[in-house]
Amino acid sequence: MKKPLFAPIITTASLLVAASINWAQAADEWENAAFQKRFYIGLGGGVSDLTPDTSRAPLVDLVDDSDSAVSVTFGMDITRRLSAELQYVDLGSAELTGGSEIDYQEVSISGLYYLWNSGIGNPYADSDGLDLRTGFSLFGRAGVGEMDNQARGVTFERENDLQFLLGAGAEYGLRNGLAVRAEFLAYDSDAEYGGLSLLYRFGSGLTDIDYLEDDTLPVLPAPAPLEKLPPPPVPDELPSLDGSSDINDASASTDSDADGVDNALDQCPDTAIGTPVNVAGCEVFNGVLDGVNFETGSDTLTAGARQILDGVVATLKAYPGVRVSIQSHTDSQGEKDANMKLSKNRALSVVRYLTAQGIGLDRLQARAYGETQPIADNNTRQGRLINRRVEFRTVR
């Protein structure tokens, strides 16, 4: 009589999944900043290949090793690349000599690792394809399970209740949560399964990152770079209280907007209290942030861009009450829809980087404008360079 192995199976699988989760989260910390976990279910069908060992039964041969199979899946997307699944598969029966049969059923727990998604590095697809499991994806699977068999017309002995499984497959998902999956599974050496499944993921999968593909906000000109501030004007003589003019005391400086910059140096004297300012007293987040660039035709931040964003992180941490809008723009080269998609992907890339450095999602907005808000002539190379920009603006 076989001994129930559900407890050790669950324990072993839990340890494997926990280790995989920790590894995946550490490897993918940057990308997982904008990820939201989702539960899903699936129903599938396919064909099994069953090869029971008949070598010790000389009068018994395998007549038919294939049968139809059905699967039921319960899963959870845990990180951008890792999912965990509880799956039941009825693999059908293997037919033996004399019409005898052996049935196969498998209950398993496994982890899926998504190796590739069509949105990775593709400016014309969703950069959040891994977040939402949209577009085409390729994955690998590993796990453990318990095989259950019933025999008709033949005596059998099952050597191992615990089964290790490996698999691989492809998946195509839509933003409404529906997905189609094709995969192949191998259970140790005597059972294999290939089939199609229909999945449904609950929830939107979207986080607090919100992006707007519109052109409703006014574009403010970026402030001119401040290479060197001119010295403040100092009068030769300051009038005294008794009417004489021989007192020259300029020590009574003032800061009317309380931004830490003296009125004599403040080029923006009406800055709102609590707003990050530069040495000229003007808002830091009020226009183009020079140097936030991307690899050509992609949403991958350059090394220089990451260094600049590290400075943004330091500023935001120094002003914990400040919220900012990250607004991405492109030039007019290429298709309008493709430019909007690229713009969105780049804005989200900046948001992901900032959140990975500890800035809360509730403080950030990602806005995509594509080519709709040029600030220079797109007919010139220099103008197109200027129009490809990322702006930071304080959200009131």
Domain CATH code at residue 36: 2.40.160.20
Residue 372 lies in a domain: yes
pTM for the predicted model, two decimal places: 0.58
Q: Report the pLDDT value the prediction gives residue 383, as an integer from 0 to 100.
A: 92
Domain housing 136: 6-20+32-201
303 and 186 co-located in one domain: no
46 and 195 co-located in one domain: yes
- Show the DSSP H helices in 236-333 as ranges: 303-318
State which of 154, 169, 201 marks the end of a domain: 201
User: In this structure, are residues 119 and 129 in contact, taking their beta carbons and an 8 Å threshold?
Assistant: yes
Residue 242 lies in a domain: no
Tell me the mean pLDDT in the region 39-67: 92
Residue 374 lies in a domain: yes
pLDDT beyond 50 at 270: yes
Say how far apart CA 141 and CA 94 lie, in whole Å: 25
Residue 231 lies in a domain: no
pLDDT tens for each residue of 194-206: 999 999 999 866 5
Binned at pLDDT 50, 70 and 90, residue 222 comes out as very low
Q: Report the pLDDT value the prediction gives residue 319, as an integer from 0 to 100.
A: 86
Q: Residue 41: exposed, middle, or buried by beta-carbon count in 10 A (0-12, 13-18, 19+)? A: middle
Q: What secondary structure does DSSP assign to 67-115, as a single string?
A: EEEEEEEEEEE-SSSEEEEEEEEEEEEEEEGGG-EEEEEEEEEEEEEEE
pLDDT beyond 80 at 390: yes
Residue 216 lies in a domain: no
- For the chain, the domain total comes to 2
196 and 50 co-located in one domain: yes
Residue 268 lies in a domain: no
164 and 16 co-located in one domain: yes
Provide the token pair at 165: 């499984």
Residue 252 lies in a domain: no
Provide the token pair at 219: 């574009």
User: Between 366 and 4, where is the model more confident?
Assistant: 366
Q: Closest Cα to residue 282, out of 387, 395, 389, 394?
A: 394
pLDDT beyond 70 at 238: no
CA distances from 77 to 43, 120, 164, 165, 210 (A): 17, 18, 22, 20, 21
User: Between 268 and 144, where is the model more confident?
Assistant: 144
State which of 145, 175, 201 marks the end of a domain: 201
User: Between 392 and 281, where is the model more confident?
Assistant: 392
Neighbour-count burial for 93-129, b at 16+ CB within 10 Å, e otherwise: bbbbeeebbbbbbbbbbbbbbbeebbbbebbebbbbb
